Amino acid sequence: MLTILIVDDESLERNGIKFLLKREEQDFRILEAGNGREAFRIFLEEHVDILFSDVKMPYINGLELTERAREIRPDLEIVIFSGYNDFSYAREALRYGVVDYVLKPVDPEEFHKTLLRVCANIEARLAREEKQSRQEDYLKKYFFIDYLYNSNKESRENLRRLTQMDEPNFEECARIILVGNSNGMFETEEEHFITNLKEQLHISLFYVNLNSQESLFMFSDKYADYRRLSCELYRFFVKQYECECYFAVSRPIEKFSDVPEEFRRLEDLLEEQFYEPGQHVFMLEDKSRQGASDALQDVELVEQISKDIEYKDMIRLKQDFCRLERKYRDEKQFSEMYVKFVFSSILKELYEQMSDLNERNLSRKVDRLYKCRKIHDVINLVNEAIKEYETYVRGHDELEREDVIKVKNYINIQYGEKNIGVEMLAEYAGLSTGYLCTVFKEETGITINRYIREVRMEKAKEFLENSNMKITQIARKVGFSNSSYFCRSFREFFGTTPESCRKGAGGDEDYDSYNASQDQSED
């Protein structure tokens, strides 16, 4: 609502102007003054948008009032009332930026046109100011984000120039708070909640939306209780927008150059929401330093789980999965995406073993996992898959004879024994050699010796690709006492040499000369 000040020493004239204003479709806030001195006092106390003033008045005339008012409000819209005898005064008033003048007695139609012109000027000015403000705000956010992620000195200088008169001053940054939200509310409701938030908190702040799920608040108050403030922020968003938000609060910031590094720490800290579903405020100063995780141990544990799935060892699978679960729950230093990647790989292996599950069902399961917001939801989903796999294995085992499973498991574990063969396996299973060969071929479609060879070759290939062991060592590890025989067997099975299979071409020996020397030594 626009505020209009009517200044005239004649009350009858003021009432006439008020009457004309009330006839307008637009509502106005109307103030009155009987002379220039009284009007100037009002200017010091009130925000006035439009001034209607008579020329001749006691104490301070209309021209003097116009000049003084313009100094206080450069964007003030001014209209002068004058009679025919005072026209020279009106012309002089134009030098002070008067919009127009209205002759007395006031003609209602002319007054209406003048008022429309004045209101149009105000509307155009406000539109320009809003456009400029939006442009400056965009630039501020652009330079701030660039400096935040890249520590760009040029962006910092541009930011300083744009904000040197603003509050809060970037150079006086005391704390930053990183806020996470999964439903994109910050992008859709930005204009509304910023105004409401400032009114609620009664504190100056700078806000920037970083992406669809993260926003940043910057504060200049060094002495505010930021733990309490973050709790207030959480309650505000829950009450106003019914959304779940998480807040990572920085430590006190000594200088603005520390902001990018502190921001990166907050990004890591915000990941803890994945592990602590009931906690919404995370203080960086509360976080104790955790030791780095043993990455090799992680890989070994996941590889063991893969073997448990492959061998259908449900007891050990549950034990190893429980170890992995405890590790990620306790250490809380792994990113949400990394944890989901690990558990999704286990999920895929589980369902790939179940031949009757189509690819679409697997895709749905993986999509569901990546949509989980908390670690316990991820773990529960994979546990469901393990139970489903256990049911599948039990049904499958009813079709596959237990003695065959027993023999296969032994081969998968003891493939490196040199004397492993049909007779030894038959004795291990408590069966006759002929019966074991028959049922094994019926259940697997291949002979026992063929199965032993496949296991050994696949293990050899795995060692070649993932270890630095020499080929002679690998040969012995997979049950070959003769390295040249191992190389020929490998070539026959895979169609390539062990040297070519090894990562980073070249290998550790020339196979032709190596095999020749081995044959000579064996002779």
Q: Report yes or no on whether pTM surpasses 0.75.
A: no
Q: Are residues 434 and 514 in the same domain?
A: yes
Contact partners, residue 259, CB within 8 Å, separation at least 6: 147, 148, 173, 176, 253
Q: Are residues 385 and 303 in the same domain?
A: yes
Q: Are residues 512 and 437 in the same domain?
A: yes
Q: Are residues 51 and 34 in the same domain?
A: yes
Q: Are residues 380 and 463 in the same domain?
A: no
Q: In this structure, is residue 427 part of a structural domain?
A: yes
Q: Are residues 176 and 253 in the same domain?
A: yes
CA-to-CA distance for 351 and 129, rounded, in angstroms? 61
pLDDT in tens, 439-479: 788 788 899 999 999 999 999 999 998 888 999 999 999 99
Which pLDDT belongs to residue 189? 59
CA atoms within 13 Å, Cβ hemisphere of 492: 9
Q: In this structure, is residue 290 part of a structural domain?
A: no
Q: Are residues 175 and 191 in the same domain?
A: yes
**Beta-sheet strand order (sheet of 245-249):** 205-209, 214-219, 175-181, 245-249, 281-283
Which pLDDT belongs to residue 105? 85
CA-to-CA distance for 253 and 221, rounded, in angstroms? 11
Q: Name the residue among 178, 150, 173 with its Cα closest to residue 163.
A: 173
First to last CA, the chain: 108
Which pLDDT belongs to residue 296? 54
Q: In this structure, is residue 422 part of a structural domain?
A: yes
Domain boundary among 235, 269, 303: 269
**Whether 21 contacts 48, CB under 8 Å:** no
Q: Are residues 394 and 427 in the same domain?
A: no
Which residue(s) pair with 52 in the sheet? 6, 79
Report the SS3 class of residue 176.
strand
Q: Are residues 321 and 361 in the same domain?
A: yes
pLDDT for 312 beyond 60: yes
Q: Are residues 373 and 483 in the same domain?
A: no
Q: In this structure, is residue 202 part of a structural domain?
A: yes
CA-to-CA distance for 316 and 295, rounded, in angstroms? 21
Q: In this structure, is residue 158 part of a structural domain?
A: no
Structural domain range at position 247: 167-269
Q: In this structure, is residue 146 part of a structural domain?
A: no
**E-strand stretches of 239-395:** 245-249, 281-283
CA-to-CA distance for 276 and 388, rounded, in angstroms? 28
Token readout for 14 is: 């003021």
Mean pLDDT of 12-33: 92
pLDDT in tens, 164-223: 645 445 667 889 999 988 766 666 656 667 777 777 777 778 888 888 788 899 888 888
Domain boundary among 346, 368, 399: 399
More confident residue, 253 or 277: 253
Q: Are residues 386 and 414 in the same domain?
A: no
CA-to-CA distance for 44 and 131, rounded, in angstroms? 28
Q: Are residues 408 and 333 in the same domain?
A: no
CA-to-CA distance for 81 and 15, rounded, in angstroms? 14
| Structural domains counted in the chain | 4
Helices then strands, each counted (H, E), the chain: 23, 10
Which pLDDT belongs to residue 175? 92
